[in-house]
Amino acid sequence: MTRYILRRLLSAIPVLFGISVIVFAIMALIPGDPALAILGSFATPENVARLNADLGLDKPLIQQYFIWLGNMLQGDFGRSFNLNRPVLDEVLDRFNATLVLAGTSFVLCAFLGIVAGVVSAANQYGWADKGITFVVLLGISIPSFFLGMMMILTFAVNLRWLPASGMWPIYGERDLWALLRHLTLPALALSVVATGVIARLARSAMLEVLRQDFIRTARAKGVHERGVIWRHALRAAMVSIIPILGIQAGFVLSGAVYIEVVFQWPGIGRMLVDAILRRDILLVQGGVIFVAACYVLFNIVVDVAQSLLDPRIKT
Amino acid sequence: MRSLALLARNRLALGGLIVMGLVVFLALLTPALPLKPPNITDTSNRFLPPFSQGAILGTDHLGRDLLSRLMWGTRLSLAVGFAAALIAATIGAAIGIVAGYYGGRTDNVIMRGVDMLMAFPYILLALAIVAALGPGLINALVAVAAVNIPFFARNIRGITVGIAHKEFVDAARLSGMSDARIILTEILPNVIPVIVIAMSTTVGWMILETAGLSFLGLGSQPPVADLGSMLGEARAALITNPHTSIVPGLMILVIVMAINLLGDGIRDALDPRLKSGALNRPLPATLVAPSRQPAAQHADAILTLDNLQTQFHVKDRVYRAVGGVSLSVKPGECLGIIGESGSGKSVTALSVMGLVASPPGIITGGSVHYQGEDLVGAPYRRLRTLRGREVAYIFQDPQATLHPLYRVGDQLIEAITAHRPLSRDEGRRKAIDLLDAVRIPNASARVNDYPHEMSGGMRQRVGIAMALANDPEVIIADEPTTALDVTVQAQILSLLDDLRRERGLAIVFITHDFGVVGQLCDRVAVMYAGRIVEQGPTRAILDAPRHPYTARLMACVPELGGGKRRLDAIPGLPPAVDDLPPGCAFAPRCDRATETCRTGEIPLDKVGDRALRCLHPVTMTEAVS
């Protein structure tokens, strides 16, 4: 198992390398002179040239890329000229908040999605199935930012059950209870779409499995129907559900952008949107590459989970 | 055409189509409608509520007419979404076709690049692209199209690889056509339907994503607004004037939902498994028709089937898999059921404990008595307590019938714990005992194996051990040796025979092999097209088969050292059980059949301990020759 994990980690290196090339290439597409963008249109040509030299922008692209990559590997993601702060510090701070939000949402959507899918499949064409199918369709069709706004309107403004925005109260204790109260609405809003997608897939995976011969064997043994569904069928269906969980984790992680904006959550998505609007390119670059790298690593975790579940996978 | 008809029958999809058609129609018509100009501000009439004079949906924070802005915004959102889908599909398909058609290195390099792009969380990549190009509707469109290219490229590549090696493409290549022409005239027409389907399922996403970028302020810039930026601008007034948010939000919801409904409908219409009902979940127990006529019970036998009828109802066709079968088996006795595949022998066996997949299976008549209790129509809870404990099954092909993800030991233990509680240690001991009983060497290590780690013969023994776990009274073995080679088969048969003698088991043994029947069974019933055609003591039937079908079936078995006897295949095929001929079902394949065989019901006549359903039985002298 350790060897398998090591092998998967090694295979991630070319992917991470490719990601860095893509991000660098996209940023190299930026029209105009970055130094000019930083200094403003009143800058003298000498100042622009000096800043370009400082930033290494006068060198060929390939050389620029390797300098940039080397710096990143040493933990130097550059400096955000807007915040006047090292990019990595800002990214790490913001990523913590995103991780709390996206992590909670991911757990929610995985749990709710699988349960909904299993219940739906077990009652195929029954009322529970029809109800779940309709709610799921609604869930995957509603824009998460609109849903978030409607949740604020209903639960925060009208019913006053939960706070409308932010991660912490402005005044008062920053304890777990306060966090949970602030987390509830955004985490729910973020999980809805992924829950729908997972529920759909879980349903069809279950229906596929319930036709298999080993399900008939379990029934012939006299295993209770609950056991047949939740132990035998779900276990086998998980083999095709887990890869989808990996893909959905990516959607949750990046979909957090909208929710963070709607709920004023101090995460990395909101940071990216602000940075884009302010043309703070280094911050965008650092944030994107950091999140993408985390996602690649998370997918390794998914693969390992898969190999733990399925003994037929050679590790 | 048939798919279109199916789509029309799917009411939800039709609803989606109608709503979508209406929205597109209105969007196209917008410039011609008598609407106020969407971008003219009128600050004295800010935030008019809906149903105000002159503004049906009210006005926004700058006093602009919401209805007009909604229509123009919808027009813009649809245009951008469809454009993004078209661009992504065109470029993605081009990449996919090139990669799939040329294969080799080209394919490798392209697909590695596609994989890299797919390693990004979806929206993040779009953000990076917008960051580089700068905010703006066209840039948002480019970003959304770009992040969807890998999806199309990968799908289309898969399809192309399949087509690129078909004969007609080879023929085109041999006739000297250029690669470009082959792609355009041979590959593309076959790929386009797939592209259209992929588009129909993704255009909803693209509309959502562009709306999302506009919502964040990265898409359309003021004063022009698509639905996303309308929502984004309205957010500041969410609490004081929610209608300005709800109007564009609901519109996005309606559009995306209509597209999703339509996409689902198209997908379902094209999925052959949905048409055939192959994705129906089987119920815990086979359905029983309310019109079933139960039969009276018999004495002395432990398991009795009386006039059992099981059918499969698929769409409007009825397959009579079991058409009135009566059988019985006594303790310590082994009854063989023999027949070709499709003769209904397995369905007969599965009907006993309600294990026929249902839907589409349904028991329409007759009874199954176990120790005097009618199992057909017994409540599921009762059936469950009998399954495995009183009547156990051994199935064919243990590769598929054992759960692939559980250790065999745990599967054995579960067979017991399904009926009575058992401690962990006790269970393990019991599992090892069971594996010992079926003569699996090194049982204490083998309990920890997964099924895929065992050989076919070993797995079959596990299947038998599982059937024995609760010391049942009856074992129904459905072709348990068919998948095995001959030596293993002989071992398994002698194992079953020993168990029968030691434990006084009643065995129902299903097979298509007369050799196996001769080794193990006391009595045998021959089935054809869902009915018993001949029944009697094994010896008697082997010595003197009376039904022509039995005789032909036995002639199919090669006999070791039997000299130059000709192996006779039976001409023709068994009849389809949804269209049985009147009279004898075997008549079309029988060389003794006369006109009377093809009319009217032929009864199963009992003479002594034998029964026969035939008007022109084979006589002794014929059988010997």
pLDDT in tens, B67-99: 888 999 999 999 999 999 999 999 999 999 999
Question: How big is the A-B interface in CB pairs under 8 Å?
Answer: 228
Say whether both A37 and A168 belong to one domain: no
Domain assignment present for A12: yes
Domain assignment present for A55: yes
Domain assignment present for A212: yes
Q: With pLDDT > 90 as the criterion, what percentage of chain A qualifies? A: 43
- Under a CB-based contact definition with an 8 Å cutoff, are residues B478 and B395 in contact? yes
CB of A226 within 8 Å of a chain B CB? The answer is no
Residue range(s) defining the domain that contains residue A99: 88-309
Say whether both A45 and A180 belong to one domain: no
Domain assignment present for A314: no
Say whether both A178 and A256 belong to one domain: yes
d(CA B303, CA B352): 9
Of the CATH numbers 1.10.3720.10, 1.10.10.10, 3.30.2350.10, 1.25.10.10, which one belongs to the domain with range B2-25+61-276?
1.10.3720.10
**Least CB-CB distance to A273: which of B216, B282, B355?**
B216
The one-letter code for the residue type at B299 is: A
Say whether both A102 and A83 belong to one domain: no
pTM, 2 dp: 0.88
- CA–CA distances in Å: residue A82 to residues A52, B262, B265, B367: 17, 46, 50, 83
Domain assignment present for A190: yes
* Average pLDDT rounded to a whole number, residues B210-222: 90
Binary contact (B217, A239; C-beta < 8 A):
no
Say whether both A68 and A105 belong to one domain: no
Say whether both A123 and A39 belong to one domain: no
Q: Based on the structure, what is the number of domains in chain A?
A: 2
Closest Cα of chain B to A106: distance in Å?
Answer: 14
Over the stretch B473-508, which tens digit does the pLDDT of each residue have?
A: 999 998 888 767 788 788 888 888 888 888 888 999
CB of A300 within 8 Å of a chain B CB? The answer is no
**Least CB-CB distance to A124: which of B121, B129, B281?**
B281
Domain assignment present for A82: yes
Pick the range with the lowest mean pLDDT from A191-195, A272-276, B116-120, B348-352.
Answer: B116-120
Predicted complex ipTM: 0.88
Say whether both A290 and A144 belong to one domain: yes
pLDDT-derived band at A116, boundaries 50, 70, 90: very high
Q: What single DSSP character describes residue B52?
A: B
Say whether both A67 and A115 belong to one domain: no
d(CA A81, CA A78): 9
- CA–CA distances in Å: residue B457 to residues A216, B448, B451, B493: 20, 17, 11, 12
Q: Which residues fall within 8 angstroms of residue A136, CB to CB, at 6 or more apart?
A: A116, A195, A196, A199, A200
Please give the pLDDT value at position B624.
47
Q: DSSP of A133-199, one letter per residue?
A: HHHHHHHHHS-HHHHHHHHIIIIIIIS--S-SS-SS-SSS---HHHHHHHHHHHHHHHHHHHHHHHH
Say whether both A248 and A218 belong to one domain: yes
Please give the pLDDT value at position B95.
93
Domain assignment present for A159: yes
d(CA B146, CA B216): 19
Say whether both A14 and A40 belong to one domain: yes
* Average pLDDT rounded to a whole number, residues B180-184: 88
- CA–CA distances in Å: residue A62 to residues A23, A77, A189, A286: 14, 18, 43, 19
Q: Is residue B368 within a helix (H) or strand (E), and if so which, with residue range? A: strand B361-370
Mean pLDDT over all residues of chain B?
85
Q: Which two tokens stand for residue B27?
A: 């969007």
Say whether both A146 and A30 belong to one domain: no
d(CA A233, CA A228): 6
3-state secondary structure of B477: strand
* Average pLDDT rounded to a whole number, residues A240-244: 91
Q: Is residue B515 within a helix (H) or strand (E), and if so which, with residue range? A: helix B514-520
Where exactly does CATH 1.10.3720.10 map onto chain B? 2-25+61-276
- Under a CB-based contact definition with an 8 Å cutoff, are residues A221 and B388 in contact? yes
Query: Which residue of chain A has the CA closest to B248?
Result: A146
* Average pLDDT rounded to a whole number, residues B534-553: 88
Which comes out higher in pLDDT, residue B8 or B612? B612
For residue B625, pLDDT over 50 is answered with no
For residue A252, pLDDT over 50 is answered with yes
Number of H helices, E strands in chain B: 24, 13
Domain assignment present for A154: yes
Q: Is residue A285 within a helix (H) or strand (E), and if so which, with residue range? A: helix A281-309
Closest Cα of chain B to A276: distance in Å?
Answer: 5
**Least CB-CB distance to B231: which of A145, A227, A291?**
A145
Q: Which two tokens stand for residue A170?
A: 């402005």
- Which of these three, A87, A107, A142, is where a domain ends? A87
- Which of these three, A64, A87, A110, is where a domain ends? A87
- Which of these three, A87, A108, A132, is where a domain ends? A87
For residue A88, pLDDT over 50 is answered with yes
- Choose, out of A94, A118, A146, A152, the residue to mutate when testing the contact with B (most B CBs < 10 Å): A146
Binary contact (A309, B401; C-beta < 8 A):
no
Say whether both A302 and A240 belong to one domain: yes
d(CA B588, CA B590): 6
pLDDT-derived band at B586, boundaries 50, 70, 90: confident
